[in-house]
Amino acid sequence: MDKIVNMVSFPRAKHTDPRPREREGPGPFRVRSELEQEERAYQREVSLAVQGSELNPPDVRIRAWEKLHGLRLPTDSAHPILDVIAVRTRLTLAEVHAEQRARASRRAARVATDKPTDALSTSDESSAHRDA
């Protein structure tokens, strides 16, 4: 059997080292990355200060905790994370529970205003459209 030999040759790159070469200074991507990292660290410090500051009301501190951790305040008043939220925000557990109740009442009020007031009127309107 004949052996197949690949006769195609590709030009070699000038730099055969697979690692990027260090330039005289950091590249623009690296500088931008470092600046973004510093900005994230600064924002985290600000969020930690807001969440624990006694100058802020409980709802502001809890929202700062939620934003920092990407979580929502649980609706269950016996949820174990509530103790952690209270400690991190320097609130009492009673203050955290009060915020839960306030949010529940705002949610209930919003739902009440979104409901149609008369269910018959909507069904009458849809039958009127069908008859036309």
pTM: 0.60
Average pLDDT of every residue of the chain: 80
Spatial contact of 88 and 50, defined as CB atoms under 8 Å apart:
no
Q: By C-alpha distance, which of 42, 67, 44, 64 is closest to 55? A: 64
pLDDT attached to residue 92: 96
Phi, psi (deg, nearest 5) at residue 37: -65, -40
Q: Where does the pLDDT of residue 74 fall: very low under 50, low under 70, confident under 90, or very high at 90 and above?
A: very high
Q: What is the per-residue pLDDT across 18-64, written as a single tens digit (0 to 9) for each?
A: 555 555 566 788 888 889 999 999 988 988 899 899 999 999 999 99
Q: What is the per-residue pLDDT across 79-107, written as a single tens digit (0 to 9) for each?
A: 999 999 999 999 999 999 999 999 999 99
Spatial contact of 77 and 100, defined as CB atoms under 8 Å apart:
yes
pLDDT attached to residue 29: 86
Count the neighbouring beta carbons within 10 Å of the beta carbon of residue 96. 24
Q: CA separation (Å) from 45 to 34, 64, 132?
A: 17, 11, 64
Of all helices (H) and strands (E), which one includes residue 37? Answer: helix 28-52
Radius of gyration (Cα) for the chain, nearest Å?
31
74-86 burial, b if ≥16 CB within 10 A, otherwise e? Answer: eeeeeeeebeebb
pLDDT attached to residue 9: 52
